[in-house]
Each structure stands twice: as C-alpha cells, then as structure tokens.
C-alpha cells in the first residue's frame, strides 16, 4: 500500500517553483515558514505507509492547509511571474509568511495577500490583465478599468461587514467593480479533508459546497449588489479532498461562483468575465 503523500508527487516541484520565483524577486523563504514546513513534512513522511501515518505523528490538518497554500502560491507565481515589480516583491514576500495553520495567524496579512494575489492570478490567466493597486486589484476589460476588492472571511457573521468594506474600497478608488470573497475558513477545521468515493466527487466538492453557502447567505449578498459601485460579487472556495480508492488520491477542488447586479454594465461585464480557476 502506497503512502498518501506519494500520490502528490508534483508537490515538491510546486514548492521548488515557488522558491525559485521568490528568489528571482529577492525574497527569502525562511526555515520554519509554512512553505518550508510542508516541504519537510513531505520529505519526512514520503515513504510511510498509509496505515502508519497517524501512528508516526502525521498531521492531516497542517498537511491539508499546506497543500491548499502551495497550490495557490504556485499558481500565483506562474500567472504573475512577469509582474516583477517592487509591489509584487512586497506582496509575495508577505504571502509566503504566516503561521502553518490559519487559525494561529497572529497577523492575517499573509493569507489576505495570498487571496489578493490568487484573485489577480485568476483574472490574469483568464485574459483580463491586472495591476496590483487599490482597491486591491484593477483589471481591464472591453476597454475599461474595473476594481476588485478582495476579502477573506473567518466566519459567516463577518460576511456583511466585509462586503461593506469592499464597497467602500471601490468607492474610495473611484471605480465600479467586483467584490471577491474567500470562503475557505468556513470549512470545519477538524475535518482536515473531505473523503469521496470517486474523483468526480472531489472535482464537484467545491462548487457543491459553495452553492450551499451562497444560498444560505443570499440575503446578505443581494443588498450590496444594489450599490452603484458594485457590479458583482465572486465567491471563491477550495476544498481539499481524498478519493478513497485502492490507493488514496489527494486532490484540491476549487470553484468561483459569481453573482451580478441587475445593471446593463454588469450584464456586459458578466459576459466577458469567464474565470479559469486552477
């Protein structure tokens, strides 16, 4: 029986790419950082059998969070590699810091900026060029500039407040645009990963879970869409999953679901914003 870690053989390659991108920008990925912690965990448990992982002290939760982080950081580095500006250096330098587990972050800036960069990468890869400036991101579409306010929420009770903050950021920047919201922290912390009987189940996990969240939070989202500066919201969620077959397969299911205001400009923008979430 093979090790769970061996099924994600490309993870060390992702870590190497992130470190190389950081090095090109003059950023040090320090020993003990969350990127380094995942690398050491992979190396330590690479040849341990599945049945022995728990007995030997394998931490599923930190591994799961690390896998989510390195997938996103690698995607960011590949999508934004050409934006070697001082601002990109500063933002990525902060993004590779932070605690191994998000609920232990004394300062949430690292993961907040990671989400800002991830949204930027998604738009850039989708053919919508971005610049990393206030409100958080500006993208160009159909000859016009639009803003994106990127917000992470730690609980459902924060959603309304974060949406209002995003609207204020758009107003302050003098732009119409989108509020992007990360819902990753709404997943139960004790459930390190979801277990599915098929790969199709893993692939659909994020979209299915996110739709359920959005239905329950609809009354908080609809009012913000009536604000003049807000053309739409985009919800993001990444769900770590394990396919329980003969050899367990680790995967990460990501989804982005948009809601658009009932405005002509929003309808036009909605037709052009077709996001590629990797």
**Rounded Cα gap, residues 217 and 14, in angstroms:** 35
**Rounded Cα gap, residues 185 and 187, in angstroms:** 5
The answer to whether 233 and 221 are in contact (CB under 8 A) is yes
Encode the chain (278 residues) as per-residue pLDDT tens digits.
334 444 456 788 899 999 999 999 899 898 889 999 998 888 887 777 767 777 787 787 888 888 889 999 999 999 997 776 788 889 999 999 988 888 888 778 999 999 999 999 999 999 999 999 999 999 999 899 999 999 999 889 999 999 999 999 999 999 999 999 999 988 766 555 556 666 666 667 788 889 999 999 999 999 999 999 999 999 999 887 766 654 556 667 788 899 999 999 999 999 888 876 66
**Rounded Cα gap, residues 152 and 50, in angstroms:** 34
The answer to whether 94 and 34 are in contact (CB under 8 A) is no
First to last CA, the chain: 29
**Rounded Cα gap, residues 77 and 92, in angstroms:** 9
Backbone angles phi, psi at 97, to 5 degrees: -95, -160
The whole-model pTM stands at 0.90
The answer to whether 117 and 79 are in contact (CB under 8 A) is no
How confident is the model over 121-169, as pLDDT tens digits? Answer: 999 999 999 999 999 999 999 899 999 999 999 889 999 999 999 999 9
How confident is the model over 180-210, as pLDDT tens digits? Answer: 999 998 876 655 555 666 666 666 778 888 9
**Hey, is 13 helix, strand or coil?**
helix
The domain locations on the chain are 5-272
């Amino acid at each position: 029986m093979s090790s769970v870690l061996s099924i994600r053989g490309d993870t060390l390659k992702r870590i190497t790419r992130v470190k190389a991108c950081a090095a090109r920008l003059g950023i040090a990925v320090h020993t003990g950082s969350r990127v380094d912690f995942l690398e050491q965990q992979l190396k330590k448990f690479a040849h341990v059998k599945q049945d022995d992982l728990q007995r030997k002290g394998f931490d599923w939760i930190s591994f799961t969070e690390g896998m989510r982080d390195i997938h996103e950081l690698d995607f960011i580095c590949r999508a934004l590699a050409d934006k070697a500006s001082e601002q990109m250096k500063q933002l990525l330098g902060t993004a590779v810091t932070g605690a191994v587990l998000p609920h232990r972050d004394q300062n949430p800036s690292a993961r907040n900026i990671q989400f800002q960069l991830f949204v930027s990468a998604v738009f850039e890869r989708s053919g919508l060029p971005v610049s990393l400036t206030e409100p958080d991101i500006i993208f160009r579409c159909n000859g016009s500039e639009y803003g994106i306010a990127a917000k992470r929420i730690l609980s459902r009770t924060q959603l309304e407040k974060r949406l209002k903050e995003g609207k204020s950021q758009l107003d302050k920047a003098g732009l119409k645009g989108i509020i992007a919201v990360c819902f990753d922290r709404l997943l139960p912390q004790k459930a390190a990963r979801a277990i599915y009987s098929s790969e199709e189940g893993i692939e659909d996990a994020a979209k299915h879970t996110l739709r359920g969240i959005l239905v329950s939070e609809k009354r908080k989202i609809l009012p913000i869409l009536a604000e003049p500066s807000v053309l739409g919201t985009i919800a993001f969620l990444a769900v770590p999953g394990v396919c329980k077959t003969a050899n367990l397969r680790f995967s990460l299911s990501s989804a982005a679901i948009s809601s658009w205001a009932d405005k002509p400009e929003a309808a036009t923008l909605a037709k052009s914003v077709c996001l590629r979430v990797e």
